[in-house]
Amino acid sequence: MTGIHVAVIMDGNGRWATARSRPREWGHRRGAEAVRRIVTAAPDLGIRTLTLYAFSSDNWQRPATEVSVLMRLFSRYLRSEAAELKESGVRLQVVGRRDRLAPGLVRDVERAERETVGGERLLLRLAVDYSSRDLLLRAVQAAAGASDLERQDMASLLGRAMHGEGPAPDVDLLIRTGGERRLSDFLLWECAYAELLFTPVMWPDYSAEHLADAIRDFRSRDRRFGNVAAAS
């Protein structure tokens, strides 16, 4: 099945909550609801692969209470959504490091991945303890001594380093919510020719309509990949 790969930097949970005089953790809880909306809407918009940045390796620096709320939210999401994801033909994968996650969370990850393995409508990749630079380093280490490395080999090495299914897929559209215009160590290799879309909408407010608008915008762009525009 063809379809595009959309990656989302789900940013703005904390500021969204702070603006409402609530603790940042409340924003993360509401952010999890936005994840459900977006995952439901994605397949009908022609999205085949959806990679969501949920927790960066640098996010470990945050206060312990915020980190533990986020970890609990991941576990809860995996436990409560796996059956529903399976039902809707979504295959879930968690990409990133696993050795720093609590054993219980790793078990939840593995269980959800096993349960949804047959899903063919959408590949949902949740990036947790993810650092693109660290993955590139690990891929390079794994390739040490290899000569004649091709781009595809690098994608395969990256895919393996992040526990992904097959080679790391190129991103077609990268969306960042929350108003910042940076990549924050996300999918650096895979975004080589990604279309970039930055929106001020905070992640807890992100809706299926916002995603539909983003896809419309993406479809109107002329992707040249270094070539000249196709004659019309």
Active site residues: 11, 59
Q: Is 25 a binder of Mg ion (CB under 5 A)?
A: no
Q: Is 92 a binder of ligand IPE (CB under 6 A)?
A: no
Kindly tell me which residue out of 11, 108, 172, 190 binds Mg ion, with binding defined by CB under 5 A: 11
Q: Using CA atoms, how far apart are residues 29 and 34, in angstroms rounded to an integer?
A: 9
Kindly tell me which residue out of 26, 55, 74, 218 binds ligand IPE, with binding defined by CB under 6 A: 55
Binding mask 166-205 for ligand IPE (x = CB under 6 A): ------------x-x-x-x---------------------
Q: Is 101 a binder of ligand IPE (CB under 6 A)?
A: no
Q: Is 129 a binder of Mg ion (CB under 5 A)?
A: no
DSSP per residue over 114-145, as a string?
A: HHTTT--SEEEEEEEEE-HHHHHHHHHHHTTT
Q: Using CA atoms, how far apart are residues 153 and 138, in angstroms rounded to an integer?
A: 13
Kindly tell me which residue out of 4, 7, 12, 90 binds ligand IPE, with binding defined by CB under 6 A: 12
Q: Which of 160-180 are b and which e, b meaning 16 or more Cβ less than 10 Å from the residue's Cβ?
A: bbbebeebbbbbbbbbbbbee
Q: Using CA atoms, how far apart are residues 143 and 164, in angstroms rounded to an integer?
A: 17
Q: Which is nearer to ligand IPE, 13 or 93 (CB)?
A: 13
Q: Is 14 a binder of ligand IPE (CB under 6 A)?
A: yes
Q: How far is the CB of 52 from ligand IPE (least distance, A)?
A: 8
Q: Is 76 helix (H, G, I), strand (E, B) or coil?
A: helix
Position closest to ligand IPE via CB:
14
Q: Using CA atoms, how far apart are residues 136 and 120, in angstroms rounded to an integer?
A: 28
